[in-house]
């Protein structure tokens, strides 16, 4: 739309996030050991665990896609960092849960983030998209 010769700003639709979960990426296949450590050292409670669906247990150690832990009122997850995945930055990613993944990606990109691949369906996780903020996370 035009407004006196200038493009009118359109309101950004609201995106509601239901959770913020940090995820620690551990060199594979050590996530199971890391979970045991957090349980023993900090009395963390394991809430759930999702294993990688494409690994054959009889040929390779199964990788942990996500082990969700509760420590006090905080929730975080631990995952194996597969060899084919490049590790950049701190080894920590932040998951923001929302019903509007596409809207959340669009909003983040509009604010200066860079989309990292396409939004896709991931077994055990639903629709997933990734962005990298201007600060490397």
Domain ranges within the chain, ordered by starting residue: 19-94, 98-137
**pLDDT of 92-137, one tens digit each?**
888 888 999 999 999 999 999 999 999 998 877 789 999 988 877 7
CATH topology of domain 19-94: 2,3-Dihydroxybiphenyl 1,2-Dioxygenase; domain 1 (3.10.180)
How much is the mean pLDDT over the chain? 83
Band (pLDDT 50/70/90 cuts) for residue 68 is very high
Among 70, 66, 56, 73, CA closest to 31: 66
DSSP secondary structure string for all residues of 67-107? EEEEETTEEEEEEEE-TTS---TTSEEEEEEES-HHHHHHH
Band (pLDDT 50/70/90 cuts) for residue 48 is very high
- Percent of the chain at pLDDT > 70 equals 82
Q: What is the mean pLDDT of residues 73-81?
A: 92
Q: What is the mean pLDDT of residues 34-41?
A: 92
- Total-model pTM: 0.66
Q: What is the pLDDT of residue 105?
A: 92
CA distance linking residue 130 with residue 118, whole number of Å: 8
């Amino acid at each position: 739309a035009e407004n006196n010769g200038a493009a009118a700003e359109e309101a950004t639709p609201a995106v509601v996030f239901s959770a913020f979960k940090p995820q620690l990426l551990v060199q594979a296949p050590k996530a199971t050991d890391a979970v045991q450590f957090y349980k023993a050292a900090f009395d963390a409670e394991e809430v759930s665990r999702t294993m990688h669906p494409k690994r054959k247990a009889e040929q390779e150690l199964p990788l942990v896609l996500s082990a969700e832990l509760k420590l006090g009122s905080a929730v975080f997850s631990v995952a194996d960092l597969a060899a084919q995945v490049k590790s950049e930055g701190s080894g920590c990613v932040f998951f923001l849960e929302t019903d509007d993944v596409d809207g959340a990606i669009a909003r983040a990109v509009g604010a200066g983030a860079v989309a990292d691949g396409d939004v896709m369906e991931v077994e055990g996780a639903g629709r997933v998209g990734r962005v990298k903020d201007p600060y490397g996370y």
